Structure 1
Amino acid sequence: MSAKPYAHPINIKPADIDFMGHVNNARYLGWVQDAVLAHWQKFAPADAVAERAWVALKHEITYRKPAFLEDDIIARTVLESTRGARAFYHTVIERGEEVLAEVKSSWCCIDAKSLRPARIGEEIASYFFPRHDGKGPGSED
């Protein structure tokens, strides 16, 4: 299945810079969270956005190159799959053509009121995985 990717611009702040003069590695996790949540808010239906929230379960980060204060950075994220209440994302943090980091992450969708896991059904997943026949909520009609 081919999912809709999302490009999330990142604004590096002076507080992101560590004692070595580049972005602290811990900030990358915040960027991934920002990108994944923005992706959800952009593509999910409004009622799903209002009724559900996300909890990170796991992040696997491969750091390739450092980022610096003046860099133009983009986090490109895509939902690879869903299973029950879990969502599996792949995010690539880039500076132009350079890959700075790659992140595989898994998230748990929860009901915003009960804080219990909430299954991601086909009715929601279809917004992220467009049908090849051009029909349905995830398609570019």
Structure 2
Amino acid sequence: MQGTALPYEYQIDVADDDIDFMGHVNNASYLKWVQDAVISHWRGLAPPEAVAQHLWVALKHEITYRRPAFLEDDVVATVLLEKVHGARVFYETIIKRGTDVLAEVKSSWCCLDAETLRPARIAQNVIDHFFAKIDDQP
């Protein structure tokens, strides 16, 4: 048993080019934000040697849009590593403005060896960096 996934918060800067013809954030920007947030999560929690040895490719994003986002919004993505299965990793990312959920994203990724560009399993001692130890839980 791994324990509880450590939430990772990623601040999103809404840029002028994120805004579409209707005056709110274009759906394509959410994909960019999720990719940036997941990669930042990996780089922020994994040991430096693991970061240097692995690359990530998104396989699937399933996005449920709840509310529009706008240029001046303070937007944060909270990333959780849900499951690791071989070279595949499954994430949940919640994008919020304050307490309002803007989008919920389920995504799957493939870990690649940085040298061979072939799928690579992640060692358990690396995976453990993404979860609170069961002993540490209240």
Post-superposition CA distance 1:85-106 (Å, at most 9, x none): 0110000000000000000000
C-alpha separation in 2, matches of 1:38 and 1:16: 20
Task: Identify the structure with bigger relative contact order (alpha carbons < 8 Å, sequence gap 6+).
Answer: 2
Q: 1:124 Cα deviation (Å)? A: 1.0
Counterpart in 1 of 2:121?
Answer: 119
Map 1:37-48 to 2 at 5 A.
Answer: 37-48=39-50
The counterpart of 2:98, out of the listed 85, 96, 99, is 96
Contact map agreement 1:52 1:110 (CA 8 A) in 2: yes
C-alpha separation in 2, matches of 1:90 and 1:133: 24
- TM-score using structure 1 length: 0.93
Q: 1:128 Cα deviation (Å)? A: 0.7
The counterpart of 1:133, out of the listed 116, 131, 135, is 135
RMSD: 1.1
Structure 2 counterpart of 1:85, which letter? A
Question: Which stretch shows the higher mean deviation, 47-56 or 119-128?
Answer: 119-128
Secondary structure class of the residue paired with 2:83: strand
- Which is helix-richer, 1 or 2? 2
Q: 1:121 Cα deviation (Å)? A: 2.2
Q: 1:113 Cα deviation (Å)? A: 1.1
Contact map agreement 1:62 1:102 (CA 8 A) in 2: yes
Structure 2 counterpart of 1:69, which letter? L
C-alpha separation in 1, matches of 2:68 and 2:33: 14
Question: Which stretch shows the higher mean deviation, 116-125 or 47-56?
Answer: 116-125
The counterpart of 2:60, out of the listed 58, 61, 66, is 58
Counterpart in 2 of 1:69?
Answer: 71
User: What are the ranges of 5 or more consecutive residues in structure 2 without an aligned counterpart?
Assistant: none
- TM-score using structure 2 length: 0.95
Pair 1:11-2:5 in alignment? no
C-alpha separation in 2, matches of 1:130 and 1:84: 21
C-alpha separation in 1, matches of 2:33 and 2:87: 22
Percent identity of paired positions between Structure 1 and Structure 2: 61
Count of residue correspondences: 135
C-alpha separation in 2, matches of 1:67 and 1:122: 37
Structure 2 counterpart of 1:128, which letter? F
Structure 1 counterpart of 2:72, which letter? E
C-alpha separation in 1, matches of 2:36 and 2:103: 15
